[in-house]
Amino acid sequence: MNRLFVTDCEGPISLNDNAFELASHFIPDGDKFFAAVSRYDDILAYEVKRPGYNAGDTLKLITPFLKAYDVTNEKIVKFSRENISLVPWARQLLEYVQGSMPSYIISTSYRQYIEALCNLINFPFENTYYTSLDIDSHELPDHEREKIFQFKEMIVEGADFETMDKIFFKEIPQMRIGKLLEDVKTVGGEGKRLALKEILKKEKLPIKSTLYIGDSITDVEPLRFTRGRGLAVSFNGNHYAVKEADIIVISENALPIGLIADLHSRFGRNYIIEFTKAYSKNPERALENFRISYNILEKFMEAFKDKFPIITIPENIEEIAEKSIRMRKKIRGEAIGGLG
């Protein structure tokens, strides 16, 4: 059976959270603003489970605010190109998997960022899914701009859930700029699961052929869809991703994903789960006894000669989630690492 490699972008491939970084750069107190909207997004998607709402719709909700602070398509492109930071070994990982199996990126990020990333790492843009945003095609009257400024201040100052609900689902939709909210279709949560299903149909492959890598709340649906049939992997995931994974990887670089992808390209799910169980007990013995390609094994041993990364099955979930979040914050920073 042919195999399939599918990964989220921000987290497994890049250290960025492009939308957070855009908000932080262009909006005053944008870091606090984005974090508050992200928490609201988590509640809507994971607790309230509002019909029609997808995890990652933060990228939709912030667009009127980006517009209010004069962000344009060109500014997003320029900022994205100049601020890409890759996970160590991510570029080599994607080069390797492209030579072994069909490979795709499914990301909630804006098209402008994904296109810039693909140009940087020479990944085929046609093998990516992303959130489309054309911010220039919408007008924002001056009186609405002032209202958006007021909403931003309310959110930064600690607006409660009911107030934010009113802002995003009553006030802004009634404004002219509310059309922007309608037009942005985010690829997160259920959108990522649907994208994965589309890829499987395109490649004429069953779900058991799939290795899916994710790290956040936007990956819950595709991880859950893959878990127990293909291989659902959390890479430095937060607690949302860790709880939905078959395999949990905690590492400063992407080499462990390369190792799993190498096994996935040649062996079935059961073999890789057995490797993971063996590795979690005795990494050195597992690396000796399982049939890992020499070039991957050599790079792995060289990179981790001082301390092996964590590759484990989901046991002691709360403990392993805390370790995963600590690594997430270590390599991506406290602000981005703390987002849902």
Q: In this structure, are strands 247-250 and 103-110 parallel, antiparallel, or unpaired? A: unpaired
Q: Above 90 in pLDDT, residue 212?
A: yes
- The 10s digit of each residue's pLDDT in 167-207 is 999 999 999 999 999 999 999 999 999 999 999 999 999 99
Determine the Cα–Cα distance for residues 246 and 275; give it in Å rounded to an integer: 12
Per-residue pLDDT, averaged over 298-309, amounts to: 95
Residue 29: left if φ>0, alpha if ψ -120 to 50, beta else—which one? left
Q: How far is CA 221 from CA 225, 270, 316, in A?
A: 6, 22, 22
pLDDT higher at 191 or 340: 191
Tell me the backbone φ, ψ of residue 229, rounded to 5 degrees. Answer: -120, -60
Decide: 210 and 4 in contact? Cβ < 8 Å. yes
Give me the amino acid identity at 63: T
Q: Is 6 helix (H, G, I), strand (E, B) or coil?
A: strand
Tell me how far apart the alpha carbons of residues 111 and 93 are, in angstroms, rounded to a whole number: 22
pLDDT score of 270 more than 80: yes
pLDDT interval class at 317 (50, 70, 90): very high
108: tokens are: 């909630």
Percent of the chain scoring above 70 in pLDDT: 100
* pLDDT, tens only, 38-89: 999 999 998 999 999 999 999 999 999 999 999 999 999 999 999 999 999 9
Strands (E) located in the chain: 4-7, 103-110, 128-131, 210-214, 231-235, 247-250, 310-312
pLDDT tens digits along 79-134: 999 999 999 999 999 999 999 999 999 999 999 999 999 999 999 999 999 999 99
Question: In the structure, what pLDDT confidence band is assigned to residue 1 with cuts at 50, 70 and 90?
Answer: confident
pLDDT(330) > 90: yes
Catalogue all structural domains in the chain, each as residue range(s) with its CATH number.
Answer: 4-8+189-337 (3.40.50)
Helix axes 111-121, 90-98, angle to 10 degrees: 80
Task: Give residue 64's pLDDT.
Answer: 98
3-state DSSP helix/strand/coil % of the chain, to nearest 5: 60, 10, 30
